[in-house]
């Protein structure tokens, strides 16, 4: 079956965009508590009798939360501690843990009169990762628009210092601009002829290419 030309062009354009524009990396982050600390829960299995809590980025654990069923009174309860401690029930130590103020805590079950359902902990939030640039400022496309002017589209702009400089064939600077980060579209009116386009970030050369029009 022969596809319409318009459909073929559309598919080609979509393919080009999907090839050059990789999706932003998605990071899974534990929720931020109203106290300004981060909260994280671990998987709890009924048959386990020991659990280890590790701060995701090595920061200090400041509180532990334990939710359990009490077989003695048939109810459920939650217990929060900010110190190394024992959980006592009817004078019996049923849990113990160590390491509050460190980045790793071990919780050990000493008696089976309770059933642990949930264990969580608060810790000092991890610093947000700095974004990593994967491409320099790049001219993706240039053409002669309906007004007879050069029109450019740029990708991967920096926060500032997105310099575009155009030179004639005698290497004279005929156009210069610092592209704003929120406007990757550039239109330049120049006489007919050939020109050399050079892009810079600060004084670092990035790209060089020839353009022309009759």
The per-residue pLDDT for 154 is 96
Splitting the chain (214 residues) into consecutive groups of 10 residues, what average pLDDT does each group show? Answer: 41 34 34 70 82 83 82 68 74 75 84 79 78 89 94 94 96 96 94 96 94 91
The per-residue pLDDT for 34 is 52
The per-residue pLDDT for 20 is 35
Is residue 5 domain-resident? no
**pTM for the model:** 0.45
The per-residue pLDDT for 149 is 95
Query: 103 with 159, same domain?
Result: no
For residue 103, give its domain range. Answer: 31-123
Cβ of 190: how many Cβ atoms within 10 Å? Answer: 16
Is residue 90 domain-resident? yes
* Stated length of the chain: 214
The per-residue pLDDT for 15 is 35
Tokens of 2: 């022969």
Q: Which of 123, 158, 187 corresponds to the end of one domain?
A: 123
The per-residue pLDDT for 89 is 66
The per-residue pLDDT for 72 is 61
Query: 142 with 179, same domain?
Result: yes
The per-residue pLDDT for 71 is 61
Q: Would you give the DSSP letter of residue 214?
A: -
Burial annotation 68-99 (CB, 10 A radius, 16+ → b, else e): beeeeeeeeeeeeeeeeeebebeeeebbebeb
- The residue behind tokens 């592209």 is 179
pLDDT digits (tens, 9 = 90+) for 95-152: 788 878 888 888 888 777 777 888 888 888 777 777 788 899 999 999 999 999 999 9
Query: 164 with 194, same domain?
Result: yes
User: In this structure, what CATH number is given to the domain that contains residue 52?
Assistant: 2.60.40
Q: Would you give the DSSP letter of residue 99?
A: -
Q: Which of 88, 123, 158 corresponds to the end of one domain?
A: 123
Contacts of 26 (CB under 8 A, 6+ apart): none
The per-residue pLDDT for 74 is 58
Query: 116 with 146, same domain?
Result: no
Query: 140 with 114, same domain?
Result: no
Query: 58 with 108, same domain?
Result: yes
Specify the number of domains making up the chain: 2
Cβ of 33: how many Cβ atoms within 10 Å? Answer: 12
C-alpha distance from residue 187 to each of 12, 151, 197 (Å): 24, 4, 13
């Amino acid at each position: 079956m022969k596809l319409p030309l318009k459909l073929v062009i559309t598919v080609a354009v979509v393919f080009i965009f999907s090839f050059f524009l990789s999706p932003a990396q998605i990071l899974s982050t534990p929720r931020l508590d109203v106290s300004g600390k981060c909260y994280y829960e671990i998987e709890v299995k009924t048959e386990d009798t020991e659990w280890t809590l590790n701060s995701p980025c090595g920061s200090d654990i400041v509180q532990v939360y334990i939710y359990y069923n009490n077989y003695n009174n048939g109810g459920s309860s939650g217990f929060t501690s900010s110190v190394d401690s024992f959980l006592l029930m009817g004078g019996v130590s049923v849990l113990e843990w160590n390491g509050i103020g460190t980045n790793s805590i071990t919780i050990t079950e000493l008696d089976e009169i309770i059933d642990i359902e949930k264990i969580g902990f608060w810790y000092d939030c991890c610093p947000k990762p700095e974004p990593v640039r994967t491409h320099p400022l790049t001219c993706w496309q240039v053409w002669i628009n309906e007004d007879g002017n050069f029109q450019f589209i740029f990708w991967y702009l920096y926060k500032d210092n997105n310099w575009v400089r155009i030179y004639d064939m005698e290497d004279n600077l005929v156009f210069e601009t610092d592209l704003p980060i929120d406007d990757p579209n550039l239109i330049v009116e120049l006489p007919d002829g050939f020109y050399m386009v050079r892009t810079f970030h600060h004084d670092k050369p990035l790209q060089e290419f020839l353009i022309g029009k009759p």
